[in-house]
Structure 1
């Protein structure tokens, strides 16, 4: 029987390896080195007397012992975090604005991660355009925003640069002699303005065939075969293709994703740090 207590930091490191499937991503998320991640795992394995992770140059996965241990590891961390949260009498509040071009399909899991870290922190999330969210942040209506870099501003912390490209459904075909059909979000969406400017400068005729109130609506229009859209690849479902090279469309730049925050409360700051580190991993993967 194991007598000495486990190192919770090493257990948390193991759970992150299992969730992210990469020593590199864990190192980025925790702002440490791959060697540190490997060392923590090695010490935990030595402590348990079992190999938890199987690792090759192209694969990182759980061993049978690791698969058996992972639910207990998560339960141990949950109990620890709940014990710490129970000491806080006041329920904190954190209001976060996330650009529709940033939120993405990973948002539910990222919210769950923040809630697991501090279940007693009330988190409010607002989705909107980068420009609108920045204005609300400046009016102190939001504590934190994660947005695409806005023209004329150089403040905030860059989390990563995200690649954009011209997306169309796999079955979509252009019609000769007609303007390029483009699905967009309405102005003042900065990505819409940029895409239109690049097409105009390249002398490519285009027409707006769909205006959606969010990236999900624009993606749906693309997958329905209405036309093309300037989107980040992670935002669209399977069955879409980058059609820019085939049509000779102008290259879309990688756009900086920026964090603006004024959180002072320790709990809120920790939640923002967890969210920003998770986004760094998502945006760079």
Structure 2
């Protein structure tokens, strides 16, 4: 006898803990409490007869048994979802706008995770500036936007606050007596405006040497040695250097990331909760 079947809700909780490295983020993804997540995990561990997660004050880590169970857990939930979609009549659609300065290198993995979680949910992504995306949201062209806090907007749910710095290539040196060469995104861009305001307020002479159509283009210009850019550390490849202190550049504030959505229930809401939790983990590290 194999015993009682596994609780799929508990298996889902285990997967969220493993993928998000956090009981708190897992609770957000499942729209429940941290205590409920812990209870689900304990129930699963009791059923399997092994400890799956090692808890420490600073982080969570899979045990050897947890790592061995991880792939089987994914296959189990995928099979469950396939069984349900056999009887699904229509696919639901979720349109999401994500700001250039929010959509980091982890975005493809996050979207893939959402697709795997609910194959019957058709997810459409648009990348753009916070201002343009908010206008599209207000016109009801997008269901949800994840953007930087925008001037004049006080609504939205705070997902995280992210520190920005002045980054350059590892061997880049500023030429004495010349204005600071800055790589930026094209207008309108809130981060660009913030960087300009802080440089002007600090009396730092500067000049634009590169204007890109997206963060990846600005990052490429920085790593090519064209100049410096105001960016979040997670946007940059390994080796980029924060030169703000060395060059006496003004400190940049932490910038809020906000979620604006009209989705309140159903499968799109579940997928969105998982995406928001994943963004919180990515930003906070």
Q: Same fold (TM over 0.5)?
A: yes
> Which residue is 2:193 aligned to?
193
> Which residue is 2:262 aligned to?
262
1:273, distance to aligned residue in structure 2 (A): 2.1
Q: Please state whether the residue corresponding to 1:256 is helix, strand or coil.
A: strand
> Which residue is 2:101 aligned to?
101
Cα distance change, pair 180–167 in 1 and its aligned pair in 2 (3 A): same
1:222, distance to aligned residue in structure 2 (A): 0.6
**1:96-135 mapped onto 2 (5 Å cutoff):** 96-135=96-135
| 5+ long unaligned stretches in structure 1 | none
**1:1-285 mapped onto 2 (5 Å cutoff):** 1-30=1-30, 34-57=34-57, 60-263=60-263, 266-285=266-285
Q: Please state whether the residue corresponding to 1:225 is helix, strand or coil.
A: coil
Tell whether the 8 Å contact from 2:30 to 2:270 is kept in structure 1 after alignment.
no
Cα distance change, pair 34–250 in 1 and its aligned pair in 2 (3 A): same
Partner Cα distance (1:155, 1:59) in 2 = 32
Partner Cα distance (1:155, 1:31) in 2 = 21
- The Cα RMSD (Å) is 2.0
Task: Deviation per CA, 1:55-99: give whole Å up to 9, x if none.
Answer: 445664333322322211111111222223333201222211111
Tell whether the 8 Å contact from 2:29 to 2:273 is kept in structure 1 after alignment.
no
Partner Cα distance (2:160, 2:130) in 1 = 16
Cα distance change, pair 165–34 in 1 and its aligned pair in 2 (3 A): same
Identify the range of structure 1 (182-191 vs 257-266) with the bigger mean alpha-carbon deviation. 257-266
Tell whether the 8 Å contact from 1:29 to 1:281 is kept in structure 2 after alignment.
no
Q: What TM-score comes out, normalization by structure 2 length?
A: 0.92
Cα distance change, pair 106–83 in 1 and its aligned pair in 2 (3 A): same
Cα distance change, pair 64–284 in 1 and its aligned pair in 2 (3 A): closer
Runs of 4+ more than 6 Å apart: none
1:29, distance to aligned residue in structure 2 (A): 4.1
Partner Cα distance (2:17, 2:185) in 1 = 37
Partner Cα distance (1:115, 1:284) in 2 = 23
Q: Please state whether the residue corresponding to 1:176 is helix, strand or coil.
A: coil
Partner Cα distance (1:8, 1:260) in 2 = 30
Cα distance change, pair 245–13 in 1 and its aligned pair in 2 (3 A): same
1:172, distance to aligned residue in structure 2 (A): 1.0
Cα distance change, pair 214–32 in 1 and its aligned pair in 2 (3 A): same
1:30, distance to aligned residue in structure 2 (A): 4.2
Partner Cα distance (1:58, 1:194) in 2 = 33
1:127, distance to aligned residue in structure 2 (A): 0.5
Task: Deviation per CA, 1:259-282: give whole Å up to 9, x if none.
Answer: 111236622222222222221222
Partner Cα distance (1:146, 1:66) in 2 = 32
Task: Deviation per CA, 1:153-186: give whole Å up to 9, x if none.
Answer: 1112121111111111111111111111100001
Task: Deviation per CA, 1:79-134: give whole Å up to 9, x if none.
Answer: 22222333320122221111110111111111112112221121111101111111
1:198, distance to aligned residue in structure 2 (A): 0.7
Number of residue pairs matched?
285
Tell whether the 8 Å contact from 1:30 to 1:277 is kept in structure 2 after alignment.
no
